[in-house]
Amino acid sequence: MPSDILRQEIRSLAKRAVLLDLAAYLISIIVIGATVPFALGLLLGTAVLLVTLLLLKISVTRMAEDAKRTGVTSQRRYLLFYALRLAVFGLAFGASLLLRRYLHPVAVAVPMLYPRLIYTAGAIVSGSHSPRKKR
């Protein structure tokens, strides 16, 4: 059950990430002009975002299984997966720094902000539909 919820959440984030990629590219056209490295950087950054989200899903699922089986979650496993997610991003960002001619480093980093933007916007939108308390 939690695995299905996480899978649906990743799909939802992936769809919104594509829209945010388009918006970021349109903004970049205004700021730096139409460049292929920026578009490729956004694609790599979005792929890294999805990989890190899949790693997060795996770690959450395993920690839930550990909690069911033993009653405690493994702090070591959490830190291992956190370090792995950070390493994936670090490798992609490092590659973009080395291959600046083909990948724009800022564009690789931008998609890592998408979950914060998506969840914040979702909270604002859902909060605007809730009834206000009367004093």
8 A C-beta contact, residue 89 and residue 24:
no
The Cα–Cα gap between 79 and 85 comes to: 10
The Cα–Cα gap between 48 and 106 comes to: 14
Residue 134 confidence (pLDDT): 52
First to last CA, the chain: 41
pTM of the model: 0.82
- The two tokens of residue 86 are 């950070």
Q: What is the pLDDT along the chain (135 residues), one digit of tens a residue?
A: 566 887 888 898 999 999 999 999 999 999 998 899 999 999 999 999 999 999 988 888 888 888 888 877 777 888 889 999 999 999 999 999 999 999 999 999 999 999 999 888 888 888 766 555 555
Residue 10 confidence (pLDDT): 87
- HSE of 29, CA atoms in CB hemisphere, 13 A: 7
8 A C-beta contact, residue 103 and residue 40:
yes
The Cα–Cα gap between 37 and 28 comes to: 11
Residue type, 10: I
Residue 38 confidence (pLDDT): 95
